[in-house]
Amino acid sequence: MLRERWLRGAEIRRHWVPWSGISPHLAIAVVAAEDQRFPGHRGFDLESISKALRERRPRQRGASTISQQLAKNLFLWPGRSLVRKGLEGYLTLLLEGLWPKRRILEVYLNVVEFGPGIFGAAAASQLFFDKPARELTPGEAALLAAVLPGPKRMSAARPSRYVRERAAAIERAVAGLGGTRYLARL
């Protein structure tokens, strides 16, 4: 997380851009990859949480929404504990109550880590594709979204076979959601 890396003195690349400076292809790719029910839930995807709890092996399936991830990235520390999860839940409710969905997604896309020390859509787009975030193609956006589960071990610049396959699956999911029109109600 940004705060943790900054405190350790690690190199950090970030540049904030407004919603209009982010490609709609990236916004929908991230929603398709991370939280397909984002426009309709109030911070928690109860169906995904239920599925995750039914899994036999722990940590087999993630159930955190974009809102929950944003609460964690903005305000909390990494790691797993009931205290952190409780605070995350409280902060998620606050974010959902105070900000519209578009703002939540805008901030998330500006603070999420896309590679080691690379925070936000603008820094990732410039570093990996040598272009502004608003000019990302659907394929480039899918590659960025594909690395989100593990930005320290996966690369959008040098995608492994797994990352390329995940990006292709994200592009199919985007098409299944109806493309960028899916986010029109934000």
pLDDT digits (tens, 9 = 90+) for 11-52: 778 889 999 999 999 999 999 999 999 999 888 877 776 677
Handedness of CA 149, 93, 134, 127 (dihedral sign): negative
Question: What percent helix, strand, coil does the chain show, rounded to 5?
Answer: 60, 5, 35
**Residue 6 pLDDT grade (very low, low, confident, very high; cuts 50, 70, 90):** very low
Q: How far apart are CA 77 and CA 41, in angstroms?
A: 24
pLDDT at 59: 53
- Position 5 pLDDT exceeds 60: no
Res. 9: pLDDT tops 60: no
Indicate the SS3 state at residue 71: helix
> What is the C-alpha to C-alpha distance for residues 170 and 183, in angstroms, rounded to an integer?
15
pLDDT at 78: 82
Q: Is 13 helix (H, G, I), strand (E, B) or coil?
A: strand
Write the CATH number for 151.
1.10.3810.10
pLDDT, one tens digit per residue, over 86-133 is 999 999 999 999 999 999 999 999 999 999 999 999 999 999 999 999
State the pLDDT at residue 23: 98
What is the C-alpha to C-alpha distance for residues 92 and 98, in angstroms, rounded to an integer? 10
Single out the residue of 71, 67, 65, 96 nearest to residue 84, CA to CA: 71
Q: Please check the confidence at residue 57 and state whether its pLDDT lies above 90.
A: no
More confident site: 33 or 56: 33
Residues 76 and 84: beta-carbon distance below 8 Å? yes
Distance CA 166, CA 144 (A): 10
pLDDT tens for residues 156-167?
A: 999 999 999 999
Q: Which amino acid is at 151?
A: P
Considering its fold, how many domains does the chain have in total? Answer: 1
Largest CA-CA distance found in the chain, in angstroms, rounded:
43
Domain of residue 84, residue span: 2-183
